[in-house]
Amino acid sequence: MNYHWNWHIFLEPGPDGSGSYLGLLLSGLVVTIETALCAWIIALVLGSIVGVLRTLPSKTASWIGFAYVEFFRNMPLLVQLFLWFFVLPELLPPSWGLWMKQMSHAPFYTAAIGIGLFMSARVAEQLRAGIGSLPRGQMLAATALGLTTVQAYRYVLLPMAFRIIMPPLTSEFLNTIKNTSVAITIGLVELTGEARSMQEFSFQVFEAFTGATVLYLLINILVVTAMRLLERGLAVPGYITGK
């Protein structure tokens, strides 16, 4: 392979004059984490609401949940981001559209909300499966004790269901982090984007992507370890999730 390797490139000054190429990648990492955390909060909140809707006895509620999940699951994330970023401002009243287009950090907000909505459909599906895996007796017992539906979900079903779905939620969180890279198409310069600009400025293609790869691996290891600790800390003794 006649490729000229230069691993010192990471310490050489970057194109923005403020630091090294390594600093460039690390600032991308920060953007990736910020975007992913915002998106994850949106995904958890909306996903929980929609997931619960799908398990309610009401036909209308579960139909709304179903339509929501199908809407966000059946379009590529890239297309959804384009819809929020390019199409939505044109369809709103002109003054609103103008405000959206002139907003600073528009790619960041669009990415956080767009990825959050996309992931919320997946969280909803996981939560629905979690609630569905609980024995029917739990809801019946809660009702027999005189709990209202809200109380039954709040104190009986959801605490157990969330513990059960911790492992799949961990991988959905990892997916959220990975999906932030799709936002480079709307101009968000996160870790993959910074690796790309490092490649364009320094011509060291494979070093740049190796740097990004290592950083992604580190986040993955960190998240998996943290979630495993959280899982262990929250486990209910004597119940299946106690492993």
Residues that bind another protein (CB under 8 A): 1-3, 70-71, 73-80, 82-83, 86-87, 90-91, 174, 177-182, 184-185, 192, 195-196, 199, 205-206, 209, 212-213, 216-217, 220
DSSP 8-class letter at 93: -
Q: Is the Cβ of residue 88 or residue 147 nearer to another protein in the bound state?
A: 88
Neighbours of 39 (CB within 10 A): 26
- CA-nearest of 119, 154, 95, 102 to 36 is 119
Q: Shortest Cβ distance from residue 226 to another protein (Å)?
A: 15
Residue 20 β-bridge partners: 13
Q: Shortest Cβ distance from residue 100 to another protein (Å)?
A: 14
Round to the nearest angstrom and report the end-to-end CA distance of the chain: 48
Q: Is the Cβ of residue 87 or residue 234 nearer to another protein in the bound state?
A: 87
Residue 13 β-bridge partners: 20
Q: Is the Cβ of residue 55 or residue 179 nearer to another protein in the bound state?
A: 179
In contact, 48 and 68? CB cutoff 8 Å: no
Q: Is the Cβ of residue 84 or residue 162 nearer to another protein in the bound state?
A: 84
Could you give the CA distance from residue 212 to residue 209 in angstroms, rounded to a whole number? 5
Q: Shortest Cβ distance from residue 238 to another protein (Å)?
A: 28
Q: Is the Cβ of residue 73 or residue 154 nearer to another protein in the bound state?
A: 73
Q: Shortest Cβ distance from residue 50 to another protein (Å)?
A: 17
Q: Shortest Cβ distance from residue 131 to another protein (Å)?
A: 20
Cα 63 to Cα 44, 59, 66, 149: the distances in Å are 20, 6, 5, 18
